[in-house]
Amino acid sequence: MTGAVLLIGLAIECYTILRIGRLLTLHVFLGMLLLGPVVLKAGSVLYRFVRYYTGSAPYRRKGPPALLLRVIGPIILLLTACVFGSGIMLAVTGPGYGPPGGWLEVHRISFIAWAFFIVIHVLAYVPRVPRLLAAEARGGGSLLGLLGGRGTRLALLIASLLAGLVIALLTVHLAGKWESFGNY
């Protein structure tokens, strides 16, 4: 469910990049809003990682992700932190700050690397999304039934979106710092 929310949210976020001059406020608002689900997704994947390596029986039975996806997982986590972290720095500092080249350079370069790995990740996982969402809606298929906690999952997702919404509402005015920054 969190993956599906991120898929739609990040697709819109990527669209705003194409019209960043006009859609900057939406870019900043949505980016800040997605912080909630992104943290939840990172938390859930790290939870699975810990349960698997500490030998929890259901997680062992399910097994780890396929090798390639297992290798790129930590890279995606790191690059996502770079894209969102530099985005936050851009909003907080305004134009012209940060390491040589500025935070905008960090944001752009980490985005390009992130996009490369996220395409592999999405292509591998997106075919499973309809089946998993349908199983969740039915009250859990064999795998989800095994993991249980459907109410908890939904509550966590809603809480993450509400937390993101609060952050977005409190910070969207920071986009104003970039309004006169125009090479568009």
CB of 119 to ligand HEM, least distance (A): 12
* Residue 13 within binding range of ligand HEM, rule CB under 6 A: yes
Residues numbered 97 to 136 that lie near ligand HEM (CB under 6 A) are 104, 107-108, 111
DSSP state of 99: S
Give the three-state DSSP class for 37. helix
Q: Which is nearer to ligand HEM, 42 or 135 (CB)?
A: 42
* Residue 17 within binding range of ligand HEM, rule CB under 6 A: yes
* Residue 84 within binding range of ligand HEM, rule CB under 6 A: yes
Q: Which is nearer to ligand HEM, 66 or 123 (CB)?
A: 123
Q: Which is nearer to ligand HEM, 53 or 97 (CB)?
A: 97
Q: Which residues are CB-contacts of 177 (< 8 A; sequence separation ≥ 6)?
A: 91, 94, 95
- Side-chain half-sphere exposure of 155, counting CA atoms within 13 A: 4
Tokens read off for 69: 């996806």
Altogether, the residues listed in the chain come to a count of 184
Tokens read off for 63: 């097994």
The residue within the footprint of ligand HEM, chosen from 7, 24, 26, 39 (CB under 6 A), is: 24
**CA-CA-CA-CA torsion for 45, 151, 126, 162, nearest 10 degrees?**
-80
Binding interface with ligand HEM (CB under 6 A) = 10, 13-14, 17, 20, 24, 27-28, 31-32, 35, 83-84, 87-88, 90-91, 104, 107-108, 111, 178, 181
